[in-house]
Structure 1
Amino acid sequence: MHIDTLSDFLTQAGTDFRLFDLGRRLQPLAQDDFAAIEAGRRPYPWPLQRHAWLAVCYWQQQGGQPYVWFLKIPLDERGLFNNAAVKHFLSALVEQLGGDIHAPLTEEQQQRLADTPFTFQPPQDKLAAFHARLSLSLGHAPSAFYQGVLDYLDSPDTHDWQRLGLQGLADVAARLDTDATLTKRVQQRLWQLPAPVQQALLAQCEHHPLPQALAKTMIEAINGEQERAGPDEERIGLLLRATAGCPPFRERSVKLASLMSLNPGPTLMLTLAARLWQELTDETLLLQYLTLLAEQHGELFNGLFAELVSVPALRPLILANLHNPELPAPLKQALGSLFSAARG
């Protein structure tokens, strides 16, 4: 039996499976797209630190316990899968199964696989978002913590917010785009929630699509923060990140352009690169961002430039501007220093 890819293994083992990216934030990955990536026909769309950070959930088609792997697969300079690493993992997997790919994995075998260099443990916030999205996509009930969050939203004065579970907040965030009644409850209470609850819920929202009205409300909340005597850049970044699961929309694009004109600090520069990079497909904003990075945040330039140029949606645009004679002098200098260092 010839097995070269994860898709080969999962298909030949008679499983159904779901794929998610857990790099910058949680994003579902279609099986057809994944097959094209495995075949080297396209680069991985959301690289982080030159790796693909994958959550793979699979189960036997006739039913049975689902298994989850969290795989960290290295990418080459073009963003393509390192096939040697994938084959190494598959070899270890088949060895654990004793050559029988249809055999179920024991807990001990799962643990041995987790000890390979190609696995990772997600942080708790992403793990909660993943379980919430997975249960929703499979049509399963939300966690036992979900009802507690609903009860709290209905009557916050009679419930202790410190007893709320992160998984319950994740379940709420995952359902906002498809449950209008739930969205209304959240919109009515969001800005009155205690700061820790509000922050945790906003942090979960970044992993999921949101109704447009709710996303606009979050962008509008930035205006209120900016009107304060000392605007909290961390909170502005949190509000921006909360909308990261939404495709670019006018209110956010306008707000980002405005923020870029105010010499933002490192928090906002990192937020844009890590969560809202899709906005940088606007060439004007991209060049404004890179120029600000070079002028005000030189210590971040090399690392963030390397991350941005690795994103397939941004790479051609960045490369096309490397020799643009109209680039501002600070950006030209930063690029020159970067390439000089790379040449050694």
Structure 2
Amino acid sequence: MTQLETLSEFLDTANTQFQVYDLGRRVENIDMMLFNQIEALKNPYPFPTQGHAQFAIVFWREAQPPFIWFLKLPLDEQGLLSPAQRSQFIKMILEALGQDPTKALSDEEQERYANHPFSFKPSQEKLALFNALVKRQLSQQPSAQYQFAASYFAALIASPKKVDDSWQQLGLQGIADICVRLDQHNHAAEINAAFEFAPVEVQAAICQCLEHVTIDAVLAQTLFDKLSQAPVEHKHIYLRALASQAELTQKAIKQLVNYQQLDENLLITIAARNWIALKDDQTRKLYLEVLANQPQIFFNQVFADIVSIPSLRQPLLLELRNTERSEKLSAAIGGLFKALSQ
């Protein structure tokens, strides 16, 4: 039998269909062609998190419920998957399941298998969005919480003044189900209305979900306006929801810099969720200048995080050689090199 070297080969050999989702930064589907290139070590993992790829593989056979693997695999300095650890996981799977990844396991086997060294548990918000996204993409019914959430948000438009404390019964899963279905029914308009009439707790939960989906221009403008008006301690709530909107995020960063409101919390939010905006040269320079005003250890940690993102790596490395940067940024970069040399 030919040795199985990749997860794709294993799942193809087992005659399953499968999809891959990143769960490290944002919850999003990874194109299968790209995933094959990642596994072939031809492309770096596009969304690294603390030196690892954190992703889910959803696989199924005809007329069977889907199975899910949550995997955390280390990356090398170039952002490529570590073949040794991947091979170790495949070997472990073959020993536990043979050629059938859908094989039923005993309770003891399930417990032992669930605690393997390459597993991880996504955060509650990411898990809710992931479940909603998978159900939609596999044409399954949304969760039991969906209907209550749909009724609540519909009421915001119908009778906003009559909305009471029923929001406390909203589940994050129901909100996630709504957010992955913004193009269905009247959900986009309802979510837009929520930012005018719903309590800030509901708005925060919505933003936790919206950061993982692509939103339209109307909702994006509403979020930008909320961000502009919000107190500093709440600005990160709305900024993260603009993750899919690079241009508005760039505008928001410029505004935050002008008003000297780009604090540590917002700097982390941009690095973790809104990094796409940093592809713009001017925005990246603004961000780095503000980052340089933070403590050296904070600068080092955030810079190390964003420079690991393949789409940002080259322009950030060029910034290290930019002779026109400020003295403050030069000093921060000098401190970074000093820390790396120790």
- Matches of 2:232 and 2:144 in 1, distance apart? 34
User: Runs of 5+ in structure 1 lacking a partner?
Assistant: 226-231
Normalising by structure 1, we get a TM-score of 0.92
C-alpha deviation, 1:174, in angstroms? 0.9
2:258 aligned partner: 261
Match of 1:193 among 198, 220, 238: 198
Matches within 5 A, 1:1-344: 1=1, 2-60=3-61, 62-97=62-97, 99-101=98-100, 104-106=103-105, 108=107, 109-155=109-155, 157=163, 160-176=166-182, 178-179=183-184, 181-225=186-230, 232-244=231-243, 246-249=244-247, 251-263=248-260, 264-344=262-342
Cα deviations across residues 269-291 of structure 1 (Å, max 9, x unaligned)?
11111111111111222122112
User: Runs of 5+ in structure 2 lacking a partner?
Assistant: 156-161
- Asked if the contact 1:40/1:81 (under 8 Å) is kept, the reply is yes
Helix, strand or coil for the counterpart of 2:86? helix
Which stretch shifts more, 320-329 or 305-314? 320-329
C-alpha deviation, 1:154, in angstroms? 2.8
C-alpha deviation, 1:102, in angstroms? 5.9
C-alpha deviation, 1:12, in angstroms? 0.6
Structure 1 segments, 4+ long, off by >6 Å, are none
Q: CA, structure 1 residues 297+279, in 2 after alignment: closer, same or farther (shift >3 Å)?
A: farther
Amino acid paired to 1:313: S
C-alpha deviation, 1:103, in angstroms? 5.5
Between the two proteins, the alignment pairs up a number of residues equal to: 333
Cα deviations across residues 173-228 of structure 1 (Å, max 9, x unaligned)?
1111x226211122223321122222111211111111221111100112222xxx
- Matches of 2:65 and 2:106 in 1, distance apart? 11
C-alpha deviation, 1:113, in angstroms? 2.5
- Matches of 2:145 and 2:33 in 1, distance apart? 34
- Matches of 2:305 and 2:147 in 1, distance apart? 39
Q: CA, structure 1 residues 339+161, in 2 after alignment: closer, same or farther (shift >3 Å)?
A: same
- Matches of 1:289 and 1:89 in 2, distance apart? 39
Amino acid paired to 2:253: L
Helix, strand or coil for the counterpart of 2:20? strand
- Matches of 2:340 and 2:47 in 1, distance apart? 23
Cα deviations across residues 124-178 of structure 1 (Å, max 9, x unaligned)?
11100000010111111111111101111233636722222211011011111x2
Amino acid paired to 2:134: L
Cα deviations across residues 32-78 of structure 1 (Å, max 9, x unaligned)?
11000010111000001010000111112x32131111100100000
Percent of pairs identical after alignment? 36
Which stretch shifts more, 299-308 or 109-118? 109-118
- Matches of 2:210 and 2:84 in 1, distance apart? 36
C-alpha deviation, 1:307, in angstroms? 0.6
Which stretch shifts more, 321-330 or 311-320? 321-330
Amino acid paired to 1:260: V
Amino acid paired to 1:192: F
Q: CA, structure 1 residues 317+174, in 2 after alignment: closer, same or farther (shift >3 Å)?
A: same
Amino acid paired to 2:252: K
Normalising by structure 2, we get a TM-score of 0.93
- Asked if the contact 2:250/2:283 (under 8 Å) is kept, the reply is no
